[in-house]
């Protein structure tokens, strides 16, 4: 498994960004080949974090390209700054049976 994390800073309206992500981006990324999991989190202080897990590095990299393009077209006014991208191989993971889609 491979993880891609995108951190956005200087977000003036986190609620609007989150609404657009849930309605527009989540359906796209969750339909990608190799998709395992996606989380969008408000870290407070105008910081948002996206975490995507895919079955391999190539699918994860493709999700990053999709995210960059989608943000440019749909969130540029809400996410004005370039994001910081971190990535890596997942070495341990466990999900609760309570985890929901």
Residues 55-91: tens digit of each pLDDT: 999 999 999 999 999 999 999 889 888 899 999 999 9
Is 95 within a domain?
Answer: no
Is 79 within a domain?
Answer: yes
For the entire predicted model, the pTM comes to 0.88
Is 100 within a domain?
Answer: no
Is 70 within a domain?
Answer: yes
How many domains does the structure of the chain reveal?
A: 1
Q: pLDDT class for 9, splitting at 50, 70, 90? A: very high
Is 101 within a domain?
Answer: no
Helix residue spans in the chain (DSSP H): 14-20, 26-30, 57-74
Cα 16 to Cα 21, 23, 48, 84, 101: the distances in Å are: 9, 11, 12, 20, 21
Is 57 within a domain?
Answer: yes
80 compared with 97, residue with greater pLDDT: 80
Percentage above 90 pLDDT, the chain = 83
Full domain range(s) for residue 53? 2-89
Closest CA to 33 of 11, 57, 7, 5: 57
Q: What is the pLDDT of residue 100?
A: 62
Instruction: Please give the mean pLDDT across all residues of the chain.
Output: 93
Ramachandran class of 78: left when φ > 0, alpha when ψ lies in -120 to 50, beta otherwise: alpha
């Amino acid at each position: 498994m491979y993880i891609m994390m995108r951190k956005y800073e200087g977000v003036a309206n986190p609620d609007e960004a989150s609404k657009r992500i849930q309605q527009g981006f989540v359906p796209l990324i969750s339909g990608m080949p190799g998709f395992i999991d996606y989380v969008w989190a408000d870290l407070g202080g105008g910081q948002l974090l996206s975490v995507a897990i895919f079955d391999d590095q190539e699918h994860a990299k493709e999700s990053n390209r999709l995210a960059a393009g989608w943000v440019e077209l749909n969130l540029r006014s809400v996410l004005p700054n370039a994001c910081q991208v971190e990535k890596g191989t997942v070495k341990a993971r466990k999900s609760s049976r309570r985890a929901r889609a």
